[in-house]
Chain A
Amino acid sequence: MTALLSVRGLVKRFPGVTALQGVDFEVRAGEVHCLLGQNGAGKSTLIKVLSGAHRPDEGEIRWRGEVVSFGNPTAAMRSGVAAIYQELDLVAGLSVADNVFLGHELSTMGFSRRSEARRRTRALLDRLGHPDISPDRDVGRLSVAHQQVVSMARALSLDGQLLIMDEPSAVLDPDEVRVLFGIIREITAQGVAVIYISHRLAEIREIGDRVTVLKDGRTVATGLSARETKTSELIALMTGRVLDNVFPQRKPVDPAAPEVLVVRGLADGDRFAGVDLTVHAGEVVGLAGLVGSGRSEILETVYGARKAAEGTVEVDGRKLRRGSVGAAVRAGMGLCPEERKSQGLLLDQAVYRNITVSSLSSFASFGFLDDRAERARSMKLTEALDVRPPGVGRVVRGLSGGNQQKVVLARWLLRECRVLLLDEPTRGVDVGARSEIYELIRELADSGVAVVVVSSDVEEVLGLADRVLVVREGRVVHDGPADEIDESRVLDLVMEGHAA
């Protein structure tokens, strides 16, 4: 069987970096080919080269046996290759049908054929198992999962033969992921190939056929069986080292430890109500719940980034002013927000400035900053956290997800905060860096910090937390020790609100 797509010796250089230095793999029609690799391994660059957004410097891409060079994404789409990026490239304000045919509008003599576009969109959505999405809806009003379906319809609208999906599950809930997998199975049965990128090994086992592993811009293994290759082998290939235990050992929480964070009857008048939460020094509390269950809103309200309608938040027995981040930070709270890039970091500024931004006054005398002290303190922290590449003068944008997360953590380490709120601390963080971040969170807790972790990854919540709270539709439906509950019970609670 000839390959649909085959890639040989692909090299892509950017000023200052060689992102790809020899990538080989091939994709067969009708298969789900998974790309694995740590952040910075070159996956994103590879997608961009394959979909025509970047031109390769060396190497060849064969599409259905012929050497091709896609000048731009539209050319690639016309040949049948389409990429669906993490940040969906849909235009809010336009209808579903308009988005599907954006860039290749159906027209006769300059007049758009709206009803034809609507009809074909309808057919594509039906093919994707979503007759419930109307072609006339404004895309901006659809859920993320539905927007993803529209992106897929767009990709298929030009007779797509290869779909490249970059971490499609990162923004989805477990049940939405199941629906997505159903769609993928259907389109692959029709002969469409899918290149699937995810950090979640469990997903790759479930949906993937074969796996290619990238490391440092090179293919280190290709054509592995997605179901039979051992996890330890995959991780070893990705990281170049062997990991045995991902989650660090828990120390029992001292029952006499003081209550650091006490939340009583918190409500925002809209998304959640009646939230009680107590975190002792040295304790990690996990909040599990679906996207949209109110878990992130709860965290942001505790932090003062959203204004509470009712209830109180106390740190070390002192009540905080409502809706004031400044008050929360002064009281010793820190937040690592969900959207690291848009909410957490000053992407175009140096690492050390990102670290010291919350502690500027401690480096200042009469308003004048001691730049050298800032760099020195940041250097110590980045060395302790093993931020790579080293150097606090680097711009944060160039770091991988895991290292960016470490920079945000370093910001709060510098303040020696009492309460650390972590929203999706390992989203977009690769397996190797992930266990380092777990380690770090544990160390912080052991040093007496009260930690709250929100995550859609139930395994992560259970592995990391001492105590687990399950949030469903804005209510806390369960509060108990982590070792007395298992993954399936948490999932039941998350979806149904009661244990099955």
Chain B
Amino acid sequence: MSEDTAAVPAQKSAPIAKESSISALLGSPAGRNTGLVVALVLLCLGGVVTAGDRFADVDNLLTILRLAAVIGVVSVGMTFVITGGGIDLSVGAIVALSSVWATTLATQGIANDLHWIVIVFTALLVGGACGLINGVLIAYGRVVAFIATLASLAAARGLAEIISNRKTQIVNVPGFTAFFDASVLGVPVLVVIFAVLAAGGWVLLNRTTFGRRTFAVGGNPEAARLAGIDVRRHTVWLYTLLGLCCGLAAVMLIARTTTGSATHGGLYELDAIAAVVIGGTLLTGGRGTIAGTVFGVLIFTTLSNVFTLNNLSISAQAVAKGAIIVVAVLLQQRLARRSGA
């Protein structure tokens, strides 16, 4: 939705326009995602060519999706915050804190006595509370988002280390592990959760008053305020939503690794921001796309997978990632200039 309105001027403009068909296509909303799809397809082709059946294997593809699911959930939440004109550097630390809090012996004890869902609620509660604190600091305390969440990053990971005593906490709650290890029609539960969250996120951003206010607040906070939107309250909601996503990601990470640890979610903030940005969401706010974010996540995860299958180092992956981010942003700027002229 946000996407098709942006393209209208290009389509209805006077016939004098002499844009090349390629840049016109890339500028259109379907086109922007087409670019991402093409990139993903090229990556997959690269995978097939270099790793053959080891890449094009159902199990391998499910592995990619399972890996993408956790960071994907964080990235969907991040899309909201960035579209709303904010930034959150503390997501990785919040994931770590949530994972640790939800797997302490005390929590596990209660979970075993009552129900495994206790772990899920604890993680969501911790994540949501961290997001709420971020939001209140930024909206009502008027601390710049970058600084406020930088502080949370340090504090949350520190707190996670204190609680866990820097030890990895093994999860021993049979119901919990069984539920998240299961598959629905051959698709792992983690992937299903990500798909449902992404779909829900798309609806929330593009079809609801909440989403529309997010675009307004990110596009021009002063105009949004004078139009009668409670910008501060909305900002708090955005960060709380992202905190909840971090809590959920923590649950998924606990399930995937069967542990809670203060080292979980390392550099998630950078991975999530990178995925959001190459997906086409403007870092300055006011424009955002969930579909783009999902593709961004898939591109990065597939890239890692292809590199790993070819025994290339993590360092080489990092270089490739950096290059992709730069190319994607340069491309975006070109398109923005064209449509803005």
Contacts and interface: CB of A to CB of B under 8 A. Distances in A.
Interface of A: 13-18, 303, 305, 325-326, 328-330, 335, 337, 342-350, 353, 357-358, 360-361, 363-364, 367-369, 371, 391, 393-395, 397-398, 411
B226 A337 contact: yes
Contact of B210 (A14, A325, A358, A367): A367
B8 A15 contact: no
A411 B340 CA distance: 24
Given A360-B212, A395-B9, A398-B9, A347 B219 contact: yes
Given A342-B222, A346-B223, A395 B13 contact: no
Contacts of A335: 226
A344 B5 CA distance: 19
Interface string B7-21: 011101110111100
A396 to B, nearest CB: 10
B213 interface: yes
A54 to B, nearest CB: 10
A17 B225 CA distance: 33
- Per DSSP, chain A at the interface is mixed
Contacts of B209: 360-361, 363-364, 367, 369
Interface of B: 1, 4-6, 8-10, 12-14, 16-19, 207-210, 212-213, 215-216, 219-220, 222-230, 286-287, 338-341
Given A349-B5, A349-B219, A394-B12, A15 B341 contact: yes
B13 A17 contact: yes
Given A345-B220, A360-B213, A367-B208, A15 B19 contact: yes
Nearest to A360: B209
Contacts of A358: 227-229
Q: Among A15, A303, A330, A411, which residue has the most Cβ atoms of chain B within 10 A?
A: A15
- Per DSSP, chain B at the interface is helix
A92 B90 CA distance: 33
Contacts of A361: 209
Given A357-B212, A394-B12, A411 B17 contact: no
B220 A369 contact: no
A16 B213 contact: no
A357 B17 contact: no
Contact of B18 (A15, A326, A348): A15
B287 A348 contact: yes
A328 B227 CA distance: 10
Sorted nearest first, the 3 A-B pairs with minimum C-beta distance are A16-B13, A329-B228, A350-B5
Contacts of A398: 9
Contacts of A329: 227-228
B308 to A, nearest CB: 40
A322 B19 CA distance: 52
Contacts of B5: 349-350, 353, 393, 395
13 contacts: A14-B341, A16-B16, A329-B227, A345-B220, A345-B223, A346-B286, A348-B286, A349-B5, A349-B216, A357-B216, A357-B227, A363-B209, A369-B212
A343 B213 CA distance: 16
Contacts of B207: 368-369, 371
Nearest to B208: A367
A330 B10 CA distance: 37
Nearest to A412: B227
Q: Among A347, A348, A360, A371, which residue has the most Cβ atoms of chain B within 10 A?
A: A348
A361 to B, nearest CB: 6
A305 B226 contact: yes
A393 B8 contact: yes
Nearest to A335: B226
Contacts of A364: 208-209
Nearest to B284: A348
